[in-house]
């Protein structure tokens, strides 16, 4: 089973807890990066924690939950090596794996009900990257990451 990092802000906390229980029931190892309380927090902090767990190899994939999934996806995608998609339906979630090789799924607790979120998650976990022409495109995403890392590197 795949190790999965989970993160949420205050808006996503209840759904994150439901997803965590669902994953554990199915034998997944879960790395819970918080939040653990309903106190208002800032979603980029949790996106960074989950993205870091994935890029460090502590988890193979990450799941992020905020109000809409949008802020989490924006933040996670700023971390080189992360391909995050905010999904509100199972079809998009499946294609995000098959075409984009997403390694982070972002969900919106204010726009997606629990049962729909579980369907999206199950679909996303069960889908495989299709490779082929998509591999060339995902390699171009990696090239963009490398370009950003080079431009961010301190000059002497
Ligand atoms: C928090 O109110 C909300 O802005 C956040 O959960 C998320 O929806 C941002 O994208």
Confidence of residue 1 (pLDDT cuts 50, 70, 90): low
Ligand 1 centroid, distance to 40 Cα (angstroms): 10
Q: Cα–Cα distance between 100 and 83 in angstroms, integer? A: 7
Question: 47-83: per-residue pLDDT in tens?
Answer: 999 999 999 999 999 999 999 999 999 999 999 999 9
Regarding the beta carbon of 117 and ligand 1, being less than 6 Å apart is answered no
Give the nearest ligand 1 atom to 110 CA: 8
The verdict on domain 3-152 having CATH code 3.40.1400.10 is yes
Regarding the beta carbon of 5 and ligand 1, being less than 6 Å apart is answered no
The answer to pTM > 0.85 is yes
Confidence of residue 94 (pLDDT cuts 50, 70, 90): very high
Question: 120-130: per-residue pLDDT in tens?
Answer: 999 999 999 99
Cis peptide before 45 (omega within 30 of 0): no
Catalytic, 33? Answer: no
C-alpha distances in angstroms, 70 versus 27, 31, 75, 76, 77?
Answer: 28, 22, 9, 10, 11
Task: Report the residue among 7, 8, 10, 11 best suited for mutation to probe ligand 1: largest number of ligand atoms under 8 A from its CB.
Answer: 11
Ligand 1 centroid, distance to 136 Cα (angstroms): 33
């Amino acid at each position: 089973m795949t190790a999965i990092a989970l993160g949420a802000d205050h808006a996503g906390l209840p759904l994150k807890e439901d997803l965590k229980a669902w994953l554990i029931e199915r034998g997944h190892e879960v790395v819970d990066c918080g939040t653990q309380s309903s106190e208002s927090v800032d979603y980029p902090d949790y996106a960074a924690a989950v993205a870091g767990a994935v890029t460090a190899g502590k988890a193979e994939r990450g799941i992020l939950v905020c109000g809409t999934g949008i802020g989490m996806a924006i933040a996670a995608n700023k971390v080189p090596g992360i391909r995050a998609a905010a999904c509100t339906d199972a079809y998009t979630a499946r294609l995000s794996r098959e075409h984009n090789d997403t390694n982070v799924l972002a969900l919106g607790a204010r726009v997606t009900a629990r049962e729909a979120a579980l369907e999206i998650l199950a679909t996303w976990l069960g889908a495989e990257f299709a490779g082929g022409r998509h591999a060339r495109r995902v390699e171009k995403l990696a090239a963009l990451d490398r370009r950003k890392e080079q431009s961010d590197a301190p000059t002497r």
